[in-house]
């Protein structure tokens, strides 16, 4: 397949002028500019040729049972091989709900792939090709460990719109971009290199042909806006996916806000530390005695700061990488007094992502979490929602839908999974005679009532 290198003439001219600088007294200036432009284009091609053999087109078949009916669809994206035995990094949203994954390599070969692990919080996934026993080592790309700065030339590789491989060039527009709601653990690289649908999961590389990030978001709000997960975050998460099959983030239940917020005109009277703005319900932090407006000065004796919003991901990542089995010592300033609070984290998802299965009704439920379910959190900060529905079950026949918020079961108020579990057990005892229960639900902000019958044992 031929390479598609999008290198506008204006960009080549700008590069040439930039490289030649202010050599206006050189009679050969025009020739030098042309030569430097050719050298730059040669370097771009060399970098692309180095990584193209590791580029992968990812095709998935997805299945969704959320509506109570089996339905399947296909989706595609890009990925990059990072080891000689066929490990591939891509985006979580590319392979989400996949029942089968097939990867097309640069040389035309196609292989099925297993999902080793994925992480919704950072939108990363690790795949492993199902290679024949005597398959030769595959070409792979390496991560860059050089500092990335604004103005660095980069190239986005992928399969945009499902077309053959392509490469587009641009610069790093911002090396520390904070995107609230997209990842609490990582900043982003912003680039004007074109990232189109289908490029998701492909690599962003430097002119040395090394990965500086994984392409994820493109054209938010229009214009040449692309966003990439930095290589440092990718390597950290991939190592954990390889070891655990998931990111295994530690969860304290602490919410922070920056000390200085220009957009909201908030300026706290502190120059350092991290200000607690909220505590998650049933969280280790709440049980340990933290309070809103506590100022965290240090974690295990190491100073922490969240002066601006760009500082928040590093703080959340630091806490998220703490081991579950050890207490963490927080140095906290409260009402002018310094105190120490010990807190042992839980695995993220053990509470937030815990699932209750109401088997005879035919649905499962999870707790609402502001990071995973921001739309539901808007309507009900504390509560549970329908996570999955069994096809042809009583829940399916009653028109219960995925993401419905459960407000009541009969007369029992539902705020937690424990409430739902208790209400379900009581309904099993009573409804063996009446065989029906009334669920009060909230759907898109509207309260409804549904009748669900109990399935025979």
Q: Considering all CA atoms of the chain, what is the largest pairwise distance in Å, rounded to the nearest integer?
A: 99
- CA distance linking residue 438 with residue 403, whole number of Å: 18
- CA distance linking residue 51 with residue 141, whole number of Å: 6
Asked if residue 453 lies in contact with residue 434, where contact means CB atoms within 8 angstroms, the answer is no
Phi, psi angle pair for 28, to nearest 5°:
-95, 20
Token pair listed for 61: 């078949």
Other beta carbons within 10 Å of 363: 26
Q: Report the run of H or E that residue 239 belongs to, with start and end.
A: helix 231-244
- CA distance linking residue 82 with residue 238, whole number of Å: 10
- CA distance linking residue 365 with residue 389, whole number of Å: 9
- State the helix-helix crossing angle for 29-51 and 9-20, rounded to 10 degrees: 120
Asked if residue 115 lies in contact with residue 95, where contact means CB atoms within 8 angstroms, the answer is yes
Asked if residue 317 lies in contact with residue 304, where contact means CB atoms within 8 angstroms, the answer is no
The residues annotated as belonging to the active site are: 93, 123, 200
Alpha helices for 389-416 (secondary structure H): 394-397
- CA distance linking residue 54 with residue 152, whole number of Å: 22
CB neighbour list of residue 423: distance below 8 Å, 6 or more residues apart: 409, 410, 412, 414
Asked if residue 187 lies in contact with residue 230, where contact means CB atoms within 8 angstroms, the answer is yes
- CA distance linking residue 439 with residue 393, whole number of Å: 15
Phi, psi angle pair for 126, to nearest 5°:
-120, 125
Phi, psi angle pair for 373, to nearest 5°:
-130, 60
For residue 233, which of 149, 124, 81 has the smallest C-alpha distance?
124
Q: Report the run of H or E that residue 380 belongs to, with start and end.
A: none
Cα 401 to chain centroid, rounded = 25
- CA distance linking residue 162 with residue 32, whole number of Å: 39
For residue 308, which of 150, 185, 177, 189 has the smallest C-alpha distance?
177
């Amino acid at each position: 397949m031929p390479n598609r290198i999008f290198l506008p003439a204006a960009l080549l001219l700008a590069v040439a002028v930039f490289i030649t600088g202010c050599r206006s007294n050189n009679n050969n200036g025009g020739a030098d500019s042309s030569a430097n432009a050719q050298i730059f284009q040669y370097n771009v091609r060399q970098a692309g040729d180095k990584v193209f053999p590791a580029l992968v087109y990812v095709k998935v078949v997805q299945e969704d049972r959320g509506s109570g009916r089996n339905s399947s669809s296909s989706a595609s994206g890009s990925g990059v091989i990072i080891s000689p035995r066929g490990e591939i990094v891509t985006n979580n949203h590319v392979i989400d709900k996949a029942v089968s994954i097939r990867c097309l390599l640069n040389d035309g070969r196609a292989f099925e792939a297993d999902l080793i692990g994925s992480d919704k919080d950072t939108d990363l996934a690790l795949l492993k090709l199902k290679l024949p026993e005597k398959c030769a080592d595959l070409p792979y790309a390496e991560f860059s460990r050089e500092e990335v700065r604004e103005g660095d030339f980069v190239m986005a590789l992928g399969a945009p719109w499902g077309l053959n491989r392509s490469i587009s060039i641009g610069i790093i527009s911002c090396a520390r971009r904070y995107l609230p709601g997209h990842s609490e653990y990582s900043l982003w690289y912003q680039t004007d290199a074109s990232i189109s649908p289908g490029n998701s999961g492909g690599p962003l590389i430097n002119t040395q042909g090394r990965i500086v990030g994984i392409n994820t978001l493109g054209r938010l709000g229009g214009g040449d806006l692309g966003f990439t997960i930095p290589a440092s975050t990718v390597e950290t998460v991939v190592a954990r996916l390889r070891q655990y099959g998931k990111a295994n983030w530690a969860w304290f239940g602490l919410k922070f806000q920056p000390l200085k917020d220009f957009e909201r005109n908030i300026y706290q009277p502190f120059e350092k530390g991290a200000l607690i703005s909220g505590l998650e319900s049933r969280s280790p932090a709440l049980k340990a005695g933290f309070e809103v407006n506590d100022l965290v000065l240090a974690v295990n004796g190491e100073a922490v700061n969240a002066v601006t919003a760009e500082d928040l991901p590093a703080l959340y990542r630091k806490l998220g990488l703490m081991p579950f089995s050890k207490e963490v010592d927080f140095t906290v300033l409260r009402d002018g007094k310094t105190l120490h609070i010990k807190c042992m984290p839980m695995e993220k998802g053990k509470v937030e992502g815990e699932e209750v299965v109401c088997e005879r009704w035919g649905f499962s439920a999870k707790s609402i979490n502001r990071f995973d379910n921001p739309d539901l959190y808007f309507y009900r900060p504390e509560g549970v929602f329908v996570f999955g529905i069994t096809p042809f079950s009583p829940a399916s026949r009653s028109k219960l839908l995925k993401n419905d918020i459960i407000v009541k079961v009969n007369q029992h108020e539902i705020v937690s999974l424990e409430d739902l579990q208790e209400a379900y057990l009581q309904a099993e005892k009573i409804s063996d005679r009446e065989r029906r229960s009334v669920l009060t639900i909230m759907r898109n902000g509207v309260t409804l009532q549904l009748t669900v019958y109990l399935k025979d044992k």
